[in-house]
Amino acid sequence: MNILRFYIGKTILATSLVTLITLAIIRVLFALIDESGDFDKGSYAFMDGLSYTLLLAPQYIYEFFPMAILIGSIAGLGILASHSELTVMRAAGKTTWQIISAALSYGLLLIAFSVFLGEFVAPKTTLMAENLRNRALHGEQFVDSNQGMWLKDGSHMVHLGEVLNESQLSDVTVYEFNLDNELTRIIHGRSAQLKGADWTLLNGDVIQLGAEQGLSSALKGLDASNVVSKEPFESQPWKTTISLDNLSALRVEPENMNIVNLYQYRQYLEGNGLETKNYDLAFWQKVFQPVSTAVMIILAASFIFGPMRSVSMGARVLVGVLTGMVYFFAVRSFGPVSLVAGLPAFFGALMPPLIFAVAAWYLLKRAG
């Protein structure tokens, strides 16, 4: 059985990797074409776009993984069926579930690769890609660091703790300088809210430094450069040239974060009374991604042993592509729809693999 397990696993691994590479190349090409519209903006050129899309390739592979495994498994098992090798295996006493378990045992290697890619490689390369693109488009106006982001806003410098969404920021600090480049005032808000076209800083302090604040009668006689005053505020208008496009570029999307960062960021949002449902959904989708990959292998076997037992290889691959696309868009649409309907994020992430698992079980039961 070990030799048989190795033979089945080797075939599925080979066809799945070929499918993954093919899908990734197609996705990179489409992304590069999409990026071509921004060429010549700032210093963004073809080589920057090519580097950007290649750095995003690990994220594309991770997103396409269940779909690619389905197509690859159908192709691999289809090759064995076309050569009547599956028929010989069953005639030799191997059951359908023994053949599926052989495929799943090597599928664990693919699942381990998927987890490694999604947790350790894709988040880092995606961040590198976004930083490369932002620097090329906006110059050194933006500096991203582990402790937030620095932005140049006219003659001011701004530090952003987090970009929560296109209309909400947290931990915003504005540093104002005079004509001699001396720091004169620091404005800090725990959050910032965009209403219409105007930003408002909320729940913060204004720290006035040195001679710019003017001296009160009580402070006369002191060195003006050493004088500091601090005034709290609940809300204060914030005049800034930072655009919504800039903030969108700086925001890290939930699907580009690993499970640990998603959990920690969700705890942070919840602790500050902010919305967490999009991060909950991304967290559970990542948790169920390995389950989805295993379900795709079982679904591929159910096709080969069921309704596609005697069709051509072209028809099998076509059905695999169509089914994989249905699953891809089901995952993309079912989660957000479930959130809009007020259902738990856990439910929205679980339903697509569960539905396809039930379909696979039904087809295998009919095949006998």
Q: How does pLDDT run across 21-64, given as a tens digit for each residue?
A: 999 999 999 999 999 988 888 788 899 999 999 999 999 999 88
Asked if 121 and 186 sit in the same domain, the reply is no
Kindly state the average pLDDT of the residues 119-125: 90
- Give bridge partners of residue 189 from the DSSP assignment: 172, 204
pLDDT, position 355: 93
Q: What pLDDT sits at residue 218?
A: 43
Is 252 a domain residue? no
Sheet holding 183-195, edge to edge: 142-145, 148-153, 156-165, 168-177, 183-195, 198-209, 228-238
With H, G, I as helix, E, B as strand and everything else as coil, classify residue 201.
Answer: strand
Instruction: Look over the chain and give the mean of its residue pLDDT values, rounded to a whole number.
Output: 83
Nearest to 283 by CA among 349, 353, 355: 349
**φ and ψ at residue 239, rounded to 5 degrees:** -85, 115
Pairing of strands 142-145, 198-209: unpaired
The one-letter amino acid at 128: M
CA 306 – CA 308 distance, rounded (Å): 6
How far is it, in rounded angstroms, from Cα 13 to Cα 73? 8
Q: Which DSSP string corresponds to 24-72?
A: HHHHHHHHHHHHGGGTTSTT--HHHHHHHHHHTHHHHHHHHHHHHHHHH
Asked if residue 33 belongs to a domain, the reply is yes
Range of the domain at 288: 1-139+273-367
- Same-domain status, 226 and 309: no
Q: Taking the alpha carbons of 150, 151, 154, 158 in that order, is the dihedral positive or negative? A: negative
Domain edge (last residue) among 225, 240, 255? 240
Burial of 82 (0-12, 13-18, 19+ CB in 10 A): middle
Two tokens, residue 49 = 């776009």
342, pLDDT greater than 70: yes
**127 and 159 inside one domain:** no
Q: Which long-range contacts (CB under 8 A, 24 or more apart) does 94-99 make?
A: 94/1, 94/4, 96/301, 96/305, 96/364, 96/367, 96/368, 98/1, 99/8, 99/301
Q: Is the residue at 146 inside a domain?
A: no
Query: Above 70 in pLDDT, residue 139?
Result: no
Q: How far apart are CA 26 and CA 34, in angstroms?
A: 12
Q: Tell me, yes or no, whether 150 lies in a domain.
A: no
Residue 93 shares a structural domain with residue 4: yes
pLDDT at 16 > cutoff 80: yes
Note whether 204 and 310 are same-domain residues: no
- Cα–Cα distances in angstroms (integers) from residue 182 to residues 178, 195, 212, 238, 359, in the given order: 5, 32, 10, 21, 68
Could you say which DSSP state residue 277 is in? H
- Is residue 255 included in any domain, yes or no? no
Q: Is 177 found in the same domain as 134?
A: no
Q: Confidence band (pLDDT; 50, 70, 90) for 339? A: confident
Give the per-residue pLDDT at 121: 93
Regarding whether 118 and 167 lie in a shared domain, the answer is no
Whether 21 and 134 map to the same domain: the answer is yes
Residue 112 sits in the same domain as residue 223 = no
pLDDT digits (tens, 9 = 90+) for 203-250: 888 888 765 444 444 444 445 455 578 888 898 888 887 665 566 556
Q: What is the mean pLDDT of residues 144-155?
A: 69
- Residues 136, 48: contact at Cβ < 8 Å? yes
Residue ranges in the chain assigned as alpha helix (H): 2-35, 46-55, 57-82, 85-91, 96-116, 122-138, 244-250, 259-271, 277-305, 313-340, 345-367
Percent of the chain residues topping a pLDDT of 90: 20
Q: Which of 26, 51, 46 is nearest to 36 (CA)?
A: 46
- Report the domain count for the chain: 2
- Residue 253 located in a structural domain: no
Residue 313 falls inside a structural domain = yes
**Are 199 and 298 within one domain?**
no
* Long-range contacts, stretch 206-214, CB < 8 angstroms, 24+ apart: 206/230, 206/231, 206/233, 206/236, 208/184, 209/183, 209/184, 209/185, 210/182, 210/184, 212/178, 212/184, 212/185
pLDDT for position 220: 47
Last residue of one domain, picked from the residues 217, 240, 263: 240
The pLDDT of residue 253: 77
Statement to judge: residues 198 and 327 lie in one domain? no
Report, as an integer, the average pLDDT of 141-163.
72
355 and 281 share one domain: yes
Q: Tell me, yes or no, whether 145 lies in a domain.
A: no
Of 240, 264, 283, which one is at a domain's C-terminal end? Answer: 240
The span from the CA of 227 to the CA of 232, in Å, is: 17
Query: Are the C-beta atoms of residues 211 and 225 closer than 8 Å to each other?
Result: yes
